[in-house]
Amino acid sequence: MMVIRPAQTDDLQDILQLAAAAGTGLTTLPNDPVRIKDKIASSLKAFNTPINEPGPEYYFFVLEDTEQQKVVGTSALVAAVGMDEAFYTYKLGTVVNTSFDLGIYNKHQVLVLGNDYTGCTEIATLFLSPDYRGGVNGRLLAKSRFMFMADFPERFADTVIAEMRGYSDKEGNSPFWHSLGRHFFSMPFAKADAISGLGSNQFIAELMPQYPIYTTMLSQEAQEVIGQVHPKTKPAISMLKREGFRYQNYVDIFDAGPTIEAPKDQIKTYRSSKLMQLIVGKPHMISDNPPETLMVSNRQLETFRTGIIESDFDGEVLYVTESFLSALAVNEGDSVRVARLRAKPQSNTNRQ
């Protein structure tokens, strides 16, 4: 069975293997035992601390194959970005220059450096082992975070954001970085991105130009990738858009990848999830539709668990097995949160 749970100290080696497989593209999952230890420790503290409003807390989740007793994926939530270190983005705006005497009207796009997302919740650190891709594992890893947010809404901000990886070629070269960032940082793109991933962004304030950047001064290649994602990121952004996330003209300062956002209470999984009572037994279908693939969270904080079951979403009772109870650390009669992992299937019944 596949189960989402908080990362533990004993998961270190498995997580490091995932970090090695992720390579340099995922800066929030470094192949560094000291930094991973720090992330786990920070996460455990967040899970064990009473909180009434979001702050810099970091919640680190893993996907475990319980049969193999192996961690095969990671994901995370940052309760409120920019609380310890400034959270920088570029806002893509418009400037109009007009000369009535010459009859000239020019409209320009400009990039303005800012901290508009300070205090927002960020979803991050999503990575799934290549051996476990396909099926529903990726969806579970990504959407389970919204289940946790629904269980503990007071811990998260009203707006949720996701920074998406921007376009780069097969050699890892970013046209946007080549046209802009390299002139100010005097270091390779991968190094600057990695330093930013450490959480220390003072160097951005020190080195980045503080004035608006006219995009027409960038190369044509750089202009074309502003707000575009890396080819491997397209499935992830498509899934988040189906959850209600939208691009609002904010982009990453290094590779110009889009930052997308959604009101917390409008995220599809968050909004459509509901509470059901657990009963041991075979599912009793009350609808004409076949069983659905559902996510089930145990609604517990320190021992949070989310798993998958095929059952009926239309009632108030969820029938499960004893082994499912054990995997989610719950008892019969407990209240759990349930949401569809996939879109509801169409009924085969012809209705007149």
pLDDT (tens digit per residue) in 23-72: 666 778 888 899 999 999 999 999 999 998 999 999 999 999 999 999 99
What's the rounded Cα separation, in Å, for the pair 346 and 60? 36
In a domain? residue 351: no
**Rounded mean pLDDT, 206-224:** 91
What's the rounded Cα separation, in Å, for the pair 124 and 49? 21
Kindly list the distances between the CA atom of residue 334 and the CA atoms of 127, 268, 296, 320, 330, in Å, as whole numbers in the listed order: 31, 24, 12, 12, 7
What's the rounded Cα separation, in Å, for the pair 163 and 124? 8
Q: What share of the chain is helix, strand, coil (3-state, %, to 5)?
A: 30, 30, 40
**Structural domain span for residue 50:** 1-76+139-154
CATH code for the domain of 288: 2.40.40.20
Same domain, 147 and 258: no
Cβ contacts of 113 within 8 Å, gap of 6 or more: 88, 89, 90, 208, 209, 210, 253
- What percentage of the chain exceeds 70 in pLDDT? 91
Cβ atoms of 92 and 226 within 8 Å: the answer is yes
Any idea which residue has 């400034």 for tokens?
Answer: 86
Q: How confident is the model at residue 209 (pLDDT cuts 50, 70, 90)?
A: confident
Cβ atoms of 157 and 323 within 8 Å: the answer is no
Same domain, 164 and 257: yes
Same domain, 225 and 166: yes
- For the chain, give the mean pLDDT: 90
Q: How confident is the model at residue 351 (pLDDT cuts 50, 70, 90)?
A: very low
Total count of domains within the chain: 3
What's the rounded Cα separation, in Å, for the pair 48 and 75? 18
Residue 192, helix vs strand vs coil: helix
Same domain, 185 and 314: no
Predicted local confidence at residue 348, as pLDDT: 46
In a domain? residue 330: yes
Predicted local confidence at residue 291, as pLDDT: 83
Looking at 154, 178, 213, which one is the last position of a domain? 154
pLDDT exceeds 90 at position 194:
no
Predicted local confidence at residue 350, as pLDDT: 38
Same domain, 94 and 171: yes
Predicted local confidence at residue 352, as pLDDT: 32
Kindly list the distances between the CA atom of residue 14 and the CA atoms of 1, 45, 67, 128, 302, in Å, as whole numbers in the listed order: 17, 21, 15, 12, 21
Same domain, 149 and 169: no
In a domain? residue 349: no
Predicted local confidence at residue 286, as pLDDT: 60
Q: Quick: pLDDT tens for 253-307.
A: 989 999 999 999 999 999 999 999 999 987 665 666 678 899 999 999 999 999 9
Q: Quick: pLDDT tens for 160-192.
A: 999 998 998 888 889 999 999 888 887 777 777
What's the rounded Cα separation, in Å, for the pair 276 and 273? 10
Clarify whether 284 is annotated catalytic: no
What's the rounded Cα separation, in Å, for the pair 249 and 258? 7
Give the DSSP H/E element, type plus range, for residue 311.
Answer: strand 306-311
Q: How confident is the model at residue 148 (pLDDT cuts 50, 70, 90)?
A: very high
Catalytic hit among 108, 183, 230, 284:
230
pLDDT exceeds 90 at position 212:
yes
Q: Which of residues 154 and 28 earns the better pLDDT score?
A: 154
Looking at 228, 243, 271, which one is the last position of a domain? 271
Tell me which DSSP letter residue 35 carries: H
Is the overall model pTM greater than 0.85, yes or no? yes
